[in-house]
Amino acid sequence: MQDEAGFTLVELMMAAMVAAIGVGALTTVLIGSRQLTNDAERGGAAAQVAQRELERTLAIPYANLAMGQAPSTSSDPLDPRFHVAGGGSGWTFKWNGTTAAPVLIDTAAGQVDAASGWADGRLTGTIHRFVTSYDDPSVVNNASNPLPDAKRVTVAVTANGGEQRRKPVQLTSVVFP
């Protein structure tokens, strides 16, 4: 009788195929995990930049809290400027995507830039700023009080890179005189 110790060629091929499928599945999971981590890192960095920029903008004196120039527009729905409309003397911005408010532009005293780039050493992106009027429904506006009751500052930050484009991180705050 012959001793049958060891593996046959078919058994070795089956074991190699099972190992290859396992390694392939593991690689797919690791790649997906890395992409999710990168997306989370971009979102976190954009949120930090947005918070810092909102605080910096809110530190501007109320009298100078206006756009120094008119904002530009975009046809890209993932660009914050997609929600800008108008021209000439009548610009509006939909800070929540649905409610349009007049953009406050003061070319002489306005200290808010419409857009600028940001970089933190690894990531880059764009900061978009908007200052709009805010009318408090509890305050009556008439001929003796024609000014807006307050100003809304909106900061939207995009982060470059990644497999999929994301909506910008957007923060907003209402500033009363």
Secondary structure (DSSP) of 15-54 = HHHHHHHHHHHHHHHHHHHHHHHHHHHHHHHHHHHHHHHH
Residue 171 CB-density burial (10 A; 0-12 exposed, 13-18 middle, 19+ buried)? middle
Q: How confident is the model at residue 143 (pLDDT cuts 50, 70, 90)?
A: low
Average confidence (pLDDT) over 9-19 = 88
pLDDT of residue 3: 64
Q: Is the pLDDT of residue 27 over 70?
A: yes
Residue (of 106, 160, 169, 108) closest to 132 by Cα position: 106
pLDDT of residue 130: 95
Rg from Cα positions in the chain: 27
Q: Sign of dihedral through CA atoms 96, 167, 61, 71?
A: negative
The sheet carrying 124-134 orders its strands as: 115-119, 124-134, 150-159, 169-175
Domain ranges of the chain: 9-175
pTM: 0.77
Query: Pick the residue with more confidence: 117 or 177?
Result: 117
Answer whether 129's CB lies under 8 Å from 118's CB: no
Q: Is the pLDDT of residue 104 over 80?
A: yes
pLDDT of residue 176: 86
Q: Is the pLDDT of residue 89 over 80?
A: no
- Which of the given ranges, 44-48, 77-81, 117-121, 153-157, has the highest pLDDT on average? 153-157
pLDDT of residue 20: 92
Q: How confident is the model at residue 97 (pLDDT cuts 50, 70, 90)?
A: confident
Average confidence (pLDDT) over 13-26 = 90
